[in-house]
């Protein structure tokens, strides 16, 4: 496990191209031969590391976006927003590494796709249920899921990844987003 953790730290700090088995071995406190004995090569080690952290993050996202079905839309979206907002630095780093990987090699989108698919599928499932319950009008649940994904997930992730300080209170931001979503942009009569 210490090799996996060391690999992830090196990937975060230096990216795939600069991550060497020598640096990883030094960080993990093991001999470089141990890495080759267990993983055969750097690519296998990196893939094993990404798989491990992807599974951990996917489980957390499943937990964040899970629902019982009796929540109001406002409650569910607000809980989800704060769940994403409260992801650990390690979780944000997994997303950062995934984004960096796509930037370095656009063909490698597996990690980013898995992350977005989990969230979009959960949101779509929630909105389908709310349509069936008659809580919201008949709309395309996938479109609604994509809209909420952009508002709730991407905005928080971009803040955290690019280390921008939030210049406003997060409760206010969440309430404002939900208000715009439910009340629309047209002025009240």
Q: Rounded mean pLDDT of 122-150?
A: 94
Task: Decide if pLDDT at 163 tops 70.
Answer: no
pTM for the model: 0.81
Name which residue leads in pLDDT, 121 or 186.
Answer: 121
What is the model's pLDDT at position 177?
78
pLDDT surpassing 80 at residue 112: no
- Which one, of 171, 182, 122, lies nearest residue 149 by Cα? 122
- Alpha carbon distance 188, 182 (integer Å): 13
| CA atoms of 61 and 88, how far apart (whole Å) | 12
What SS3 class is residue 49?
helix
pLDDT of residue 67: 96
The runs of H, that is alpha helices, within the chain are 2-18, 21-28, 32-39, 42-65, 73-85, 89-104, 110-132, 141-148, 155-161, 170-183
């Amino acid at each position: 496990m210490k090799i996996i953790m060391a690999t992830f730290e090196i990937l975060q700090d230096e990216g795939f191209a600069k991550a060497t088995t020598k640096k990883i071995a030094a960080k993990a406190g093991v001999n470089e031969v141990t890495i080759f004995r267990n993983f055969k090569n750097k690519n296998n080690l990196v893939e094993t590391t990404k798989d491990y952290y992807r599974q951990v993050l996917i489980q957390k996202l499943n937990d964040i976006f899970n629902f019982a079905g009796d929540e109001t839309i406002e409650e569910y979206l607000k809980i989800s927003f704060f769940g994403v907002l409260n992801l650990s630095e390690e979780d944000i780093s997994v997303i950062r590494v995934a984004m960096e990987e796509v930037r370095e090699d656009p063909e490698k989108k597996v990690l980013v796709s898995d992350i977005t698919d989990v969230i979009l599928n959960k949101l779509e499932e929630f909105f389908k249920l709310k349509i069936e319950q008659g809580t919201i009008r008949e709309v395309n649940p996938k479109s609604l899921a994509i809209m909420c994904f952009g508002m709730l997930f991407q905005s928080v992730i971009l803040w955290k990844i690019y280390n921008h300080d939030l210049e406003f209170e997060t409760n206010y931001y969440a309430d404002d987003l939900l208000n715009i979503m439910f009340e629309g942009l047209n002025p009240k009569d």
